């Protein structure tokens, strides 16, 4: 598995280039609980951003909520300010089916209408079910249909290849 620090460096360089090309000085960084928050917290200092960070818990926005029920660790989302006309850097750990990102976008738009949302992920893997693409990617991984990658942490952060817990 790739080393987290080097993936964060790649993401920071891609982020700087992405936002400089668009004339965006400092977007609001928003991490998706739990792994996305860990990655956002590690990425912000590499970018030199000082605006308060947001944290999204998308539990109630998931399309499988009625099937899997309430997660035992549901937290309230914390967004630092109004999102209207703001540029958002949405951060997650692993982009797989795209369903987590769809839920995160639904929740973000309940808080306001951002000028733009840029998706950054530590790892992107095959198996997309929705048309979701990250602009900033630490690494692309090809995994078998029975495998997944999980971010473990928060200290230290590490990636782990595991077998699927349930069929998708």
- For all residues of the chain together, what is the average pLDDT? 91
Q: Does the structure show a pLDDT above 80 at 113?
A: yes
Which of 111 and 74 is assigned the larger pLDDT?
Answer: 111
CB count within 10 Å of CB 90 equals 27
The fold adopted by the segment(s) 4-62+82-163 is Rossmann fold (3.40.50)
Side-chain half-sphere exposure of 158, counting CA atoms within 13 A: 5
Q: Does the structure show a pLDDT above 70 at 98?
A: yes
Distance of CA 123 to the CA centre of its chain: 9
The per-residue pLDDT for 69 is 53
Domain boundaries, the chain: 4-62+82-163
Q: pLDDT (tens digit, 9 = 90+) per residue, 13-56?
A: 999 999 999 999 999 999 999 999 999 999 999 999 999 999 99
DSSP structure class, residue 152: E
Strand 158-163 relative to strand 147-152, pairing: antiparallel
Whether the CB-CB separation of 9 and 46 falls below 8 Å is answered with: yes
The per-residue pLDDT for 38 is 98
Closest CA to 121 of 61, 57, 35, 45: 35
Q: Does the structure show a pLDDT above 90 at 156?
A: yes
Share of the chain above pLDDT 90, in %: 80
pLDDT category, 80, cuts 50, 70, 90? confident
Q: pLDDT (tens digit, 9 = 90+) per residue, 137-154?
A: 999 999 988 899 999 999
Of the ranges 87-91, 95-99, 146-150, 159-163, which is most confident? 87-91
């Amino acid at each position: 598995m790739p080393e987290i620090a080097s993936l964060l460096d790649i993401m920071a360089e891609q982020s700087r280039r992405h936002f400089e090309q668009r004339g965006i000085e400092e977007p609001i960084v928003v991490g998706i609980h739990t792994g996305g928050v860990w990655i956002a917290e590690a990425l912000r200092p590499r970018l030199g951003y000082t605006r308060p960070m947001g944290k999204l818990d998308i539990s109630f926005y998931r399309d499988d909520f009625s099937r899997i029920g309430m997660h035992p660790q549901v937290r309230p989302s914390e967004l630092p300010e109004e999102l209207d006309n703001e540029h958002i850097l949405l951060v997650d750990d692993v982009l797989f089916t795209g369903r987590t990102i769809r839920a995160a976008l639904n929740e973000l738009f309940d808080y306001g209408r951002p000028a733009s949302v840029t998706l950054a992920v530590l790892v992107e893997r095959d198996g997309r079910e929705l048309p979701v693409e990250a602009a900033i990617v630490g690494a692309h991984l090809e995994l078998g249909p029975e495998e997944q990658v999980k971010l473990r942490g928060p200290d230290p952060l590490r990636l782990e290849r595991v077998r699927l817990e349930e069929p998708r």
